């Protein structure tokens, strides 16, 4: 055996003994009177009733008793009665001091507050006075369900005792329940105090959760609800113990979390009680291996297997090894299992499981001593196991230290996106006292969020589900997405076709039309459509480019969270029966991983990195500038031309002609957008002939682009129904051009205002540094550069930024003194850009600035740069101009190796090849032909 330097082992031991822990699963402590009177024997056993007394003779109890004597300052001969007496004395004399000892070394606790109704326990916030960082909530989904069902019964909306499978009242009650349940989950997803969810389905009906498409799961839930739940639910205090219902709850939460991940790039984990539990559990059904189909189906939803899955630790370790989204928690066995058993459990967890997939918890509950015992015993066992691995040369001391920190702190910090600093962590109990903490609420709250807090209606009948589900509140969007797709795909829906849509690299919207039955079969199987790799190497007219490769396949995967009706009754002539819904899609490779040429995945990846690595969430609001035209075809030579819809207006005017001619058409469009769930903040005339602007709500980046595409599409469809063409051409007629300004705000619930300001400046400094190359994505047509002129309020020609300055490409909109409310308007973006690609590259450049801590050398320009002297511009750092042709922008992109490395060199090279071939083709047209060609396509 190789000798190990004692200093290395000493450092490993020091880290394990002093590293403060993130306790990823605990429960509330009892209130004072209950704390003194509850049966203390339960601290080391899940036994109940007559079996509980036998716990006195178990190894876990005897070991805990020895350790408690040290905690209470008792001699080693003190019996159990003496231990209990001393404990009560300490609680009466110095409960706060005892709590500080028990919670010492805990950085934060993620508290599952669904174990008790709340009358007997302290709130989750109460525990924060003893931890280094505020505690957060884990929401138990079955508790939410029981609360809703009890409330429905009190309101007379639950047909208790009814047992007819097709009873209309049962169906209505089920839809109302599942809608309210999903509303509550969505509210929790948007709640910064909630960092995860938990299911105890293994207690109720086992972990063999049946997975199917949304309609199948909801129908199974309805049958279970009607036949097995309603007859005796009141007698069971509305506890959900019917399999179809329990499965529907788990699958509904997974779908909502999956939608959150699709929109934002990351989501909150779902914990599962597995293995160890009281005699109420289905022991065989608590084997986590039963979760394998669910894990595979919802591969983007992080799942945490709690309580070491004892006695199924190896099964849990296997799942965490082979599935990216699975993590093993090694809690509860401390102090519930003997020392030898604990060592075996830790070794089994480490047999094949990466240390990056193992999480620490105590499962502390009711008694503060459960937290103390778990942490003391856990540190002892982890130290012994890791030191032996070092002594056996299986690990270096440095590797073991890294593993220990991962398990005790880093893994949970990253998974739950807590934003804590390991550098600031230490094992000393918090110096905060109860008097310095905010007053805790009177009781723990398991009540549902109020309807007004979510911005959604609570009581929803099936006929209004689709309408009520389409809210664009940026913080509460997921309920609408998931319920909406479920409703649109239901058997009684009037939707007959689903249009699966995607943007190619040239911003050409392409699609496959599927009858709804075929679409449901698609998503029930592998959920993707195969297209040729060469389809991303063709022009808008399908002419090939040098990168058009006929070999290989791309999988086009519809993202259900983006589904919405394609038409609305106010905007089209399509009859109600035979509606069409659209859904946006992303590209996967044949291993079902995000494809390197997928613009949507690029944007999602950059958003995710900002959120996970830097605790920054983004909102993006788009301004749709559109020109409405009449299409004319000459009877003499069949030449097509366009004329503006109206000419007698200016920016922000309301003329007689607009009132009588333009606004009725525009208001129909706004109504149509609202009917499919797209809210318009503002609508006004712009300076160009026939030009108007629709301002959309701010949303997370990927969702914002999804909605932008669908809004533009509906505007064009609505215009066509009025005999008009709506175009996003950057310069359809001489004069003022059209842009698609992107308003970006960087937000953080973790960073201080000063840190967020510094991060924003690094982000924007890097965007400006790479702006010449970024223009190749954000202004991708030669006509885009007709707008790059000075003194026209179009962003000017100089690379600069300025507060409320519309003559620079990056305008900062003012913030309050605390730095809140700040947003940045990117003005060098127009409507012919693939916005997934343009915004993804912009975020990539900004992310590089954050990672490199790029300094903002450009000063705030508060004047029109063209009015500044050369010396004045140099003093502000303004020395470079925006490209004035697409050729220059493409060359800048080719030369910007740093940006290509941050994005994807293959993507950049592919894009350059396609764009240059496109431009060579367009140069063969006359100016008039080119204008008509582009206006018909964008």
751-754 CB contacts, 8 Å cutoff, 24+ apart? 751/419, 751/615, 751/616, 753/818, 753/819, 753/820, 754/819
- What DSSP state is assigned to residue 214? H
Residue 784: name the closest of 776, 774, 773 by CA.
776
Looking at residue 547, what is its pLDDT? 77
Percent of the chain as helix, strand, coil, to the nearest 5: 50, 15, 35
Neighbours of 615 (CB within 10 A): 18
Asked if residues 393 and 362 have their Cβ atoms less than 8 Å apart, the reply is no
- Spatial distance between the Cα atoms of 862 and 529, rounded to a whole number of angstroms: 51
Residue 423 — pLDDT band, cuts 50, 70, 90?
low
**Chain-centre distance of CA 98, in angstroms?**
39
Residue 568 — pLDDT band, cuts 50, 70, 90?
low
Among 152-156, 267-271, 761-765, where is mean pLDDT lowest?
Answer: 152-156
E strand or H helix at 486, and its extent? helix 478-488
**Chain-centre distance of CA 891, in angstroms?**
36
Tell me the domains of the chain and their CATH numbers: 1-416 (3.20.20.140), 482-595 (3.10.20.70), 620-936 (3.30.590.10)
Angle between helices 243-264 and 214-224 (to 10 degrees): 150
Is the predicted pLDDT of residue 179 greater than 60, yes or no? yes
**Chain-centre distance of CA 286, in angstroms?**
28
pLDDT tens per residue, range 342-356? 999 999 999 999 999
- Residues near 333 by beta carbon (within 8 Å), at least 6 away in sequence: 276, 307, 308, 310, 341, 342, 345
The torsion defined by the Cα of 663, 668, 671 and 675, in degrees rounded to 10, comes to: -160
Residue 330: name the closest of 389, 250, 275, 391 by CA.
275
Neighbours of 327 (CB within 10 A): 25
Within 530-662, residue ranges assigned H as helices are 599-614, 656-657
pLDDT tens per residue, range 255-279? 899 988 877 778 999 999 999 887 7
Looking at residue 391, what is its pLDDT? 93
pTM of the entire structure? 0.64
- Spatial distance between the Cα atoms of 328 and 411, rounded to a whole number of angstroms: 11
- Spatial distance between the Cα atoms of 345 and 407, rounded to a whole number of angstroms: 14
Looking at residue 78, what is its pLDDT? 93
Burial string for 164-199 (b: 16+ CB within 10 Å, else e) reads: eeeeeebbebbbbbbbbbbbbbbbbbbbeebbbbbb
| CA-angle at 663, arms to 662 and 667, nearest 5° | 130
- Spatial distance between the Cα atoms of 293 and 828, rounded to a whole number of angstroms: 47
- Spatial distance between the Cα atoms of 658 and 666, rounded to a whole number of angstroms: 10
- Spatial distance between the Cα atoms of 389 and 382, rounded to a whole number of angstroms: 11
Q: What average pLDDT does the segment 235-249 reach? A: 90
Looking at residue 170, what is its pLDDT? 80
- Spatial distance between the Cα atoms of 162 and 169, rounded to a whole number of angstroms: 9
Asked if residues 293 and 262 have their Cβ atoms less than 8 Å apart, the reply is no
pLDDT tens per residue, range 909-923? 989 998 898 888 888
Looking at residue 570, what is its pLDDT? 39
E strand or H helix at 340, and its extent? helix 339-352
Neighbours of 39 (CB within 10 A): 10
pLDDT tens per residue, range 648-679? 788 888 888 888 888 888 888 888 888 888 88
E strand or H helix at 108, and its extent? strand 106-112
Neighbours of 351 (CB within 10 A): 12
DSSP secondary structure, 514-551, as one string:
EEHHHHHHHHHTT--EEEEGGGGGB-TT--B-TT---S
Side-chain-facing half-sphere of 39: CA atoms under 13 Å: 13
- Spatial distance between the Cα atoms of 703 and 689, rounded to a whole number of angstroms: 31
Asked if residues 649 and 662 have their Cβ atoms less than 8 Å apart, the reply is yes
Looking at residue 446, what is its pLDDT? 33
pLDDT tens per residue, range 93-118? 999 999 999 999 999 999 998 887 67
- Per-residue HEC secondary structure of 354-379 comes to CHHHEECCCCCCECHHHHHHHHHHHH
Burial string for 248-275 (b: 16+ CB within 10 Å, else e) reads: bbbbbbbbbbbbbbbbbbbbbbbbbbbb
Percent of the chain with pLDDT over 90: 42
Looking at residue 331, what is its pLDDT? 93
**Chain-centre distance of CA 745, in angstroms?**
17
pLDDT tens per residue, range 397-407? 999 999 999 99
What sign results for the dihedral spanned by CA atoms 413, 414, 419, 423?
A: positive
- Residues near 120 by beta carbon (within 8 Å), at least 6 away in sequence: 30, 31, 34
Q: What is the mean pLDDT of the chain?
A: 84
Looking at residue 487, what is its pLDDT? 56
Is the predicted pLDDT of residue 360 greater than 90, yes or no? yes
**Chain-centre distance of CA 585, in angstroms?**
17
Burial string for 75-94 (b: 16+ CB within 10 Å, else e) reads: eeebeeeebeebbeebbeee
- Spatial distance between the Cα atoms of 246 and 221, rounded to a whole number of angstroms: 8
Residue 493 — pLDDT band, cuts 50, 70, 90?
low
pLDDT tens per residue, range 867-909? 989 999 899 999 999 999 999 999 999 999 999 988 888 889 9
- What DSSP state is assigned to residue 285? G
CB-count burial class (<10 Å; 0-12, 13-18, 19+) for 438? exposed
557 to each of 125, 592, 833, how far by Cα in Å? 42, 9, 22
Neighbours of 884 (CB within 10 A): 14
Residue 193: name the closest of 108, 300, 263 by CA.
108
- Spatial distance between the Cα atoms of 498 and 519, rounded to a whole number of angstroms: 7
- Residues near 730 by beta carbon (within 8 Å), at least 6 away in sequence: 737, 738, 739, 779, 781, 783, 784, 786, 787, 830, 831, 832
- Spatial distance between the Cα atoms of 655 and 634, rounded to a whole number of angstroms: 31
Residue 335, preceding peptide bond in cis (omega within 30° of 0): yes
- Residues near 579 by beta carbon (within 8 Å), at least 6 away in sequence: 493, 494, 495, 496, 565, 566, 567
Is the predicted pLDDT of residue 699 greater than 60, yes or no? yes
As a residue count, the chain comes to 938
């Amino acid at each position: 055996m190789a000798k190990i330097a004692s200093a290395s082992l000493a450092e490993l031991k020091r880290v394990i003994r002093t590293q403060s822990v993130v306790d990823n699963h605990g429960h509330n402590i009892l209130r004072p009177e209950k704390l003194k009177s509850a049966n203390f024997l339960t601290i080391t056993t899940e036994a109940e009733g007559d079996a509980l007394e036998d716990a006195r003779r178990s190894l876990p109890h005897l070991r805990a008793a020895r350790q408690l004597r040290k905690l209470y300052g008792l001699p080693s001969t003190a019996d159990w009665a003496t231990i209990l007496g001393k404990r009560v004395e300490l609680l009466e004399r110095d409960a706060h001091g005892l709590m500080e000892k028990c919670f010492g070394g805990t950085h934060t606790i993620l508290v599952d507050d669904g174990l008790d109704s709340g009358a007997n326990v302290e709130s989750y916030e109460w525990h924060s006075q003893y931890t280094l960082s505020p505690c957060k909530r884990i929401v138990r989904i079955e508790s939410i369900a029981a609360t809703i069902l009890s409330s429905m019964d009190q309101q007379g909306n639950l047909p208790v005792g009814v047992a007819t499978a097709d009873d209309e009242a049962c169906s209505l009650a089920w839809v109302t329940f599942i809608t309210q349940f999903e509303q509550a989950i969505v509210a929790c997803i948007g709640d910064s105090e909630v960092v995860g969810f938990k299911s105890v389905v293994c207690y109720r009906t086992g972990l063999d959760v049946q997975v199917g498409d949304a309609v199948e799961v909801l129908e199974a839930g309805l049958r279970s609800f009607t036949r097995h739940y309603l007859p005796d639910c009141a007698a069971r205090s509305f506890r959900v113990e019917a399999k179809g219902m329990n499965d529907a709850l788990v699958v509904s939460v997974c779908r909502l979390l999956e939608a959150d991940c699709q929109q934002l790039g990351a989501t909150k984990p779902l914990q599962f009680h597995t293995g160890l539990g009281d005699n109420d559990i289905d022991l065989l059904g608590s084997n986590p291996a039963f979760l394998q189909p669910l894990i595979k189906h919802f591969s983007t939803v992080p799942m945490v297997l709690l309580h070491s899955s004892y006695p199924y630790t190896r099964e849990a370790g296997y799942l965490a090894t082979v599935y990216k989204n699975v993590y093993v928690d090694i809690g509860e066995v401390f102090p519930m299992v003997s020392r030898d058993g604990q060592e075996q459990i830790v070794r089994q967890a480490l047999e094949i499981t990466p240390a990056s997939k193992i999480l620490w918890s105590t499962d502390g509950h009711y008694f503060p001593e459960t937290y103390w015992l778990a942490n003391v015993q856990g540190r002892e066992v982890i130290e012994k196991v890791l030191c032996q691995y070092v002594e056996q040369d299986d690990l270096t001391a440095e590797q073991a230290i890294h593993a220990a920190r991962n398990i005790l702190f880093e893994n949970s910090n990253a998974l739950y996106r807590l934003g804590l600093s390991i550098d600031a962590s230490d094992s000393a109990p918090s110096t905060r006292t109860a008097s310095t903490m905010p007053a805790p609420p009177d009781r723990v709250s398991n009540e549902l969020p109020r309807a007004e807090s979510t911005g959604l209606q609570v009581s929803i009948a099936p006929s209004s589900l689709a309408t009520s589900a389409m809210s664009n509140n940026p913080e509460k969007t997921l309920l609408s997405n998931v319920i909406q797709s479920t409703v649109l795909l239901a058997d009684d829906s009037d939707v007959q076709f689903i249009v699966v849509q995607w943007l190619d690299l040239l911003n050409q919207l392409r699609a496959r039309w599927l009858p709804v039955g075929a679409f449901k079969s698609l998503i029930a199987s592998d959920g993707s459509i195969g297209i040729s790799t060469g389809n991303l190497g063709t022009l808008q007219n399908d002419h090939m480019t040098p990168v058009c490769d006929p070999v290989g396949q791309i999988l086009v995967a519809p993202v259900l969270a983006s589904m919405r009706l394609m038409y609305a009754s106010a905007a089209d002539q399509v009859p109600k029966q035979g509606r069409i819904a659209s859904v946006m899609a992303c590209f996967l490779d044949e291993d079902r991983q995000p494809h390197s040429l997928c613009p949507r995945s690029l944007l999602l990846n950059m958003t995710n990195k900002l959120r996970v690595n830097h605790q920054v969430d983004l909102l993006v609001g788009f301004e749709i500038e559109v020109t409405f035209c009449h299409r004319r075809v000459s009877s003499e030579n069949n030449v097509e031309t366009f004329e503006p819809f109206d000419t007698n207006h200016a920016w922000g005017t309301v003329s007689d002609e607009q009132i009588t001619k333009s606004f009725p058409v525009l208001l129909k469009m706004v109504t149509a957008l609202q009917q499919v769930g797209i809210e318009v903040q503002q609508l006004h005339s712009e300076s160009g002939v026939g030009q108007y602007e629709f301002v959309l709500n701010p949303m997370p980046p990927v969702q914002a682009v999804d909605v932008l595409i669908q809004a533009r599409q509906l505007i064009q469809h609505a215009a066509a129904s009025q005999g008009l063409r709506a175009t996003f051409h950057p310069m359809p007629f001489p004069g003022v051009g059209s842009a698609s300004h992107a308003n970006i705000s960087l937000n953080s619930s973790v960073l201080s205002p000063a840190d967020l300001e510094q991060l924003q400046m690094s982000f924007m400094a890097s965007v400006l540094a790479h702006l010449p190359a970024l223009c190749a994505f954000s202004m991708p047509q030669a006509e885009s550069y007709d707008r790059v002129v000075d003194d026209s309020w179009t962003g000017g020609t100089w690379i600069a930024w300025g507060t409320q300055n519309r003559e620079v490409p990056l305008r900062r909109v003012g913030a309050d003194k605390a730095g809140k409310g700040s947003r940045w308007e990117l003005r060098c973006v127009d409507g012919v850009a693939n916005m997934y690609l343009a915004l993804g590259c912009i975020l990539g450049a900004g992310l590089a600035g954050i990672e490199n801590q790029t300094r903002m050398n450009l000063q705030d320009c508060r004047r029109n740069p063209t009015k500044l002297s050369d010396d004045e511009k140099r003093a502000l750092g303004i020395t470079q101009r925006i490209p004035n042709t697409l050729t220059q922008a493409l060359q800048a992109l080719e030369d910007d190796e740093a940006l290509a490395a941050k994005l994807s060199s293959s993507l950049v090279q592919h894009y350059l090849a396609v764009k240059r071939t496109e431009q060579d083709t367009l140069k063969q047209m006359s100016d008039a032909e080119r204008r008509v060609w582009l206006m018909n396509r964008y």
